[in-house]
Structure 1
Amino acid sequence: MRTLIYIIVAAATIISCTDKAAVPQEWQFEKVIELDRINPIGIAMDGNDIFLSDGDHNRVVKVDEDGSVLFEMEGFERPMHIDFGESDFEITDKVTTSLLKERALFIPEYGRDSIAVMRDNKMDYLVLQDSLDAPAAISLFEDEIAIADFYPNRVLYYDGKEWISIGTEGKELGQLYYPTDVQITENYIYIADAYNHRAQVFDKTGKAIAIIGADQKINAATGIYVTDNEVLLTDFENGRVLIFDMKHQLKQIIETNIDKPTDIFVQDGLMYITNYRKGQLIKYILKDITYE
């Protein structure tokens, strides 16, 4: 009898957990964070610290949840989509070369054709074996690097051993037209193929796998962020963010308070969207869908 009770309780627990996991969720608007004289292009987070590239003012700023500036570093030339990373990457201060041994913020400088590397108040540059022409974004994953190289219509990808060039100019699968953002995941490379008005997925040999959002009438896909179960893509001119599942099917469109979005960051059920035109961060939260 006791064994039977245990079985019933265990079964009820499993059913309860399954039901809870099956509750559908959606992103819901939380608040507008006003920024003082900041026109954000890229966003990255380090813990709870929010970093923004302010391309119009050639600086990178750290802000708090209320938008107050906690730190800023100037002297960049059009900083774009930024990312944090940590590995033995070769860096230079233009005099000596060394290996990066600590976590740092990587900043593509669109106007200087270089990747700045910032930690504390020190700035160096990433050593590359190829030249860049208006780098628009960088992504780091363990010892891998991907750089969206805007005018050459390609992404430079380093797999930890060697560099390859992904993409050529064009509109077909595997071709790019002014890529503006990129993200590496465990198995794939996702690219915001801005002026083909879509995203693309490549494997790590550079083979094109899929196109995302080509049928959604996107007008300038400027920013991309990939979680374990969603691909989020900014639609700059239409003022919205499109959210796809991992089979690349559209599951949600969010538009509330979004105006000229350039980038997205997702962490712990929170989404931050950079509103370039209005100088704002738009915060959304992932919530269970309730039916009345």
Structure 2
Amino acid sequence: MRVLIVILAVAAALISCEEKTAVPQEWQFDKTIALDGINPIGIAMDGNDIFLSDGDHNRVVKVSEIGDILIEIDGFERPMHIDFGAANFQITDKVTTSILKERALFVPEYGRDSIAVMRDNKRDYLIINDSLDAPAAISVYENEIAIADFYNNRILYNNGKQWMSIGTEGKELGQLYYPTDVQITEDKIYVADAYNHRGQVFDKTGNGLALIGTNQNMNATTGIFVTKTEVYLTDFENGRILVFDMNYELKQILETSIDKPTDVFVNDKTLYITNYRKGELVKYSLKEIKNEKS
């Protein structure tokens, strides 16, 4: 009996310790980074390096933490929501074809109906046996690729073996109306269903699973980002970022210094938001919530 009491006491102490360390956190505004001459649409990170697509100026730029341009890659036709990845897909430089086997930057060109692939200062194009109509975003996950095919109101998805079309035009679950961003996770595909003013979740066979944010009065849901614990949606016209848990319940609304946001990216305890119209990158940090004593 004495041994049992000791075990229970130790267990209680451990539980108490865990409760004390489980400090609630939330996103708090950090700073606004001015981007000289850049109107960012999409953001992607390669480690700690920040890349922005500047659709108004037909380029992709790498910027520093204070917004200086470090690298400029031009010659695109309205690049949109970009991504890094290492999927083994067939690519071409318009002369020869090869298989991409290393990590690269994937750039959907809205004005060219194509996906550019950048690696070692070389530009290739993803070979797709289908017709895109204004690709707005791409997501690369291991050997899978998903493309937000804007005017075709669908997601074009390859599971590593074959292409499939997900979604049809409409407003019901499983239907899309001008999707502008997409992200693949381990078992799902998340979509910024822009002009249905919501997010949407599909399984990898194309079945619609859930709608996100339908009760939040969003107006043009242009960007999406998913972590293991949260889903982030940009509310473009209302100047907000909405944060949901994995049950798609609203957790937090971010509004400080956010104006016409097109995309969002989370890197550990830092969250970056692209302010398209003002040409800004807004930074939030994850911080402990202070309990105010009455």
With normalisation by structure 1, the TM-score equals 0.96
* CA RMSD after TM alignment: 1.6
Q: Which residue of 1 aligns with 2:29?
A: 29
Q: Distance in 2 between matches of 1:74 and 1:150?
A: 23
Distance (whole Å) between structure 2 residues aligned to residue 195 and residue 167 of structure 1:
14
Helix, strand or coil: the match of 2:65?
coil
Change (3 A) 1:6 1:211: closer
Whichever residue aligns with residue 214 of structure 1, its letter is T
Contact 2:87/2:145 (CA < 8 Å) preserved in 1? no
The aligned residue for residue 18 of structure 1 is 19
Q: Structure 1 residue 287: deviation in Å?
A: 1.1
Counterpart in 1 of 2:107? Answer: 107
Question: What amino acid maps onto 2:130 in structure 1?
Answer: D
Q: How does 1:119-138 map to 2 (within 5 A)?
A: 119-138=119-138
Residue identity opposite 2:233 in structure 1? L
Describe the SS at the equivalent of 1:179. Answer: coil
Deviation at 1:61, TM superposition (A): 0.2
Distance 1:184 1:101 in 2: 19
Cross-structure match for 2:269? 269
**Is the counterpart of residue 82 in structure 1 residue 85 in structure 2?**
no
> Which position in structure 1 is the counterpart of 2:247?
247
Structure 2 distance, partners of 1:259, 1:120, is 34
| Residues 132-211 of structure 1: pairs in structure 2 closer than 5 A | 132-211=132-211
Deviation of 1:269 after TM superposition, in Å, equals 1.1
Instruction: Give the structure 2 partner of residue 57 of structure 1.
Output: 57
CA contact (8 A) 2:147 2:155 kept: yes
**Counterpart of 1:262 in structure 2: which amino acid?**
T
Q: Given residue 135 of structure 1, which amino acid in structure 2 is its aligned partner?
A: P
Number of equivalenced pairs: 291
- Contact 2:199-2:221 within 8 A present in 1 as well: yes
> Where in structure 1 do 4 or more consecutive aligned residues deviate above 3 Å?
1-11
Cα distance between partner residues in 1 of 2:5 and 2:177: 64
> What is the identity, as a one-letter code, of the residue corresponding to 1:70?
L
Task: Report the AA paired with residue 205 of structure 2.
Answer: T
Please name the residue that 1:284 is paired with: 284
Q: TM-score, normalised by structure 2?
A: 0.95
- Provide the rounded CA distance (Å) in 2 between the counterparts of 1:172 and 1:87: 32
For structure 1, list consecutive stretches of 5 or more residues without a partner in the other structure.
Answer: none
Q: Aligned pair 1:46/2:37, yes or no?
A: no
CA contact 2:170–2:177 (8 Å) conserved in 1: yes
Measured after TM superposition, the shift of residue 13 of structure 1 is 4.0
- The aligned runs of 1:222-261 (5 Å cut-off) are 222-261=222-261
Contact kept in structure 1, 2:87 and 2:140, CA below 8 Å: no
